[in-house]
Amino acid sequence: MTRILHRSIGPELPRAVSGQGVYITDAQGRRYIDGSGGAAVTSIGHGDAEVLDAMRRQMDAIAYAHTSFFTTEAAESLADRLVDLAPQGLDHVYLVSGGSEAVEAALKMARQYFVEIGQPQRRHIIARRQSYHGNTIGALATGGNAWRRAQFQPILPQTHHVSPCYAWRDQRPDETAQDYAARLAQELEDKIVELGSDQVIAFVAEPVVGATLGAVPAVADYFERIRAVCDRYGVLLILDEVMCGMGRTGTIFAHEQDGIVADIVTVAKGLGGGYQPIGAVLLSGRIYEAFRDGSGLFQHGHTYIGHPVAAAAADKVVEIMARPGLMENVRAMGQRLRDGLADELGRHPNVGDIRGRGLFCGIELVADRDSKEPLDPALRTHARIKREAMARGLISYPMGGTIDGVRGDHILLAPPYIIQPDEIDLIVQRISDAIRATV
């Protein structure tokens, strides 16, 4: 019997014993294609010899040095690499150990920035409904997933939520994409004004919504308009790229494709590629300078920030990710995945939408394609598809999301960036079979 309190208490999980490329093998010798990179974590693939070498060299040299006494070559090199690859303006990095930690640090950084520059009255965070920003108290409060929040509501700090950009459900038939983006930007502006035009710290959003909607990018114009509203009221724009960032959508940073510059960006998951737990917060020069010229201290910090082995692993992962050809592969294989799914499932009565960017792909399931009515949550369709897919040797990431309080089902696919055409075709076949066996 297991002594671990697993995420859910139920049938014993298979034990993973090895990983190579896009495959994971369990103790029974069963081989699974890692069609979701776990939870969009495995970026450059399993078992990469260069990353393992980099980690080994770092461990041989020094495995840990506390960041209040020392910096390390690995951490400095990773920070330089991230800044070099980031859109202009994001020129400093704060290293953490995962996604929720990155979001917590970003929230506190934003609040302290306004204290440093003499605007301590700013106290509100605005995010979007149907979003997920992590499971710690601050990150959970920022997220707008009603189901994840429900039982913890009494202990969550107050945050505010506006509508997500979810054109497939929410763009009106008489509205262009531009009209829709303008309506959402107006909703944000109204919320800022309602809370007090000089009272808001930050607006937080995922450029491509992952865990809660299933790979939903914003419409063109949306982020430009949001950026303009934030600028009008001096509100910081925090983009949470924990899931969609680090190459997942075919560019190193997802928001490169939205043509805007953020004040703070959080990354994790694909950054360490699963080799080590690591996350990072990228911040603009203006925020860094406010800290430097103010208190000289970011009043935050965990014991393992800037961990040298994690930094060495991530530095190599990002170096590999940025080599010529890999982002092109993400874009080409992502297109092949969506095309293959459209061919196989495009007419399935319960497949409402197939969407995404790069190797970040979502399939939304519905009870009725015309009305887009969600499946009955009691059926737990997403959980049954996960089991059917695993039985066919495929790891996928099905979830019950939240559609205005009603749970809806979608499946996230996010395979490693090194995936090849025949492996994409295998994912298409196996997930289609798993869906057809379930609904």
> What residues line the site for ligand PLP (CB under 6 A)?
39, 98-100, 103, 132-134, 206, 210-211, 240, 242-243, 268
User: In angstroms, what is the minimal distance from the CB of 375 to ligand PLP?
Assistant: 22
Q: Which residues pair with 21 in a beta bridge?
A: 46
CB-wise, 265 or 290, nearer to ligand PLP? Answer: 265
CB-wise, 98 or 334, nearer to ligand PLP? Answer: 98
User: In angstroms, what is the minimal distance from the CB of 51 to ligand PLP?
Assistant: 19
User: How does DSSP assign 299-368, residue by residue?
Assistant: S---TTTT-HHHHHHHHHHHHHHTSTTHHHHHHHHHHHHHHHHHHHHTT-TTEEEEEEETTEEEEEEEEE
Residue 170, Cβ density class (10 Å: 0-12 exposed, 13-18 middle, ≥19 buried)? middle
**What distance in Å separates the CA atoms of residue 416 and residue 414, rounded to the nearest whole number?**
7
User: In angstroms, what is the minimal distance from the CB of 266 to ligand PLP?
Assistant: 7
Residue 149, Cβ density class (10 Å: 0-12 exposed, 13-18 middle, ≥19 buried)? middle
**What distance in Å separates the CA atoms of residue 241 and residue 116, rounded to the nearest whole number?**
26
Q: Token digits for 204?
A: 């937080």
**What distance in Å separates the CA atoms of residue 207 and residue 202, rounded to the nearest whole number?**
15
Q: Which residues pair with 31 in a beta bridge?
A: 25
What are the φ/ψ torsions at residue 344 (nearest 5 degrees)? -80, -40
CB-wise, 242 or 389, nearer to ligand PLP? Answer: 242
Residues in the chain: 439
Q: Token digits for 194?
A: 């309602």
CB-wise, 241 or 353, nearer to ligand PLP? Answer: 241
CB-wise, 127 or 341, nearer to ligand PLP? Answer: 127
312: closest CA among 44, 81, 68? 81
CB-wise, 257 or 438, nearer to ligand PLP? Answer: 257
CB-wise, 263 or 423, nearer to ligand PLP? Answer: 263
CB-wise, 100 or 396, nearer to ligand PLP? Answer: 100
| Residue whose beta carbon is closest to ligand PLP | 99
* Residue 405 near residue 411 (C-beta atoms within 8 A): no
Q: Token digits for 92?
A: 């400093």
User: In angstroms, what is the minimal distance from the CB of 410 to ligand PLP?
Assistant: 14
Close Cβ partners of 387 (under 8 Å, ≥ 6 residues apart): none
203: closest CA among 220, 221, 185, 216? 185
User: In angstroms, what is the minimal distance from the CB of 134 to ligand PLP?
Assistant: 3
User: In angstroms, what is the minimal distance from the CB of 143 to ligand PLP?
Assistant: 8
User: In angstroms, what is the minimal distance from the CB of 119 to ligand PLP?
Assistant: 26
Torsion of CA 260, 182, 162, 112, to 10 degrees: 40
**What distance in Å separates the CA atoms of residue 332 and residue 367, rounded to the nearest whole number?**
31
CB-wise, 78 or 242, nearer to ligand PLP? Answer: 242
CB-wise, 21 or 416, nearer to ligand PLP? Answer: 416
**What distance in Å separates the CA atoms of residue 277 and residue 371, rounded to the nearest whole number?**
42
CB-wise, 239 or 375, nearer to ligand PLP? Answer: 239
* Residue 282 near residue 83 (C-beta atoms within 8 A): yes
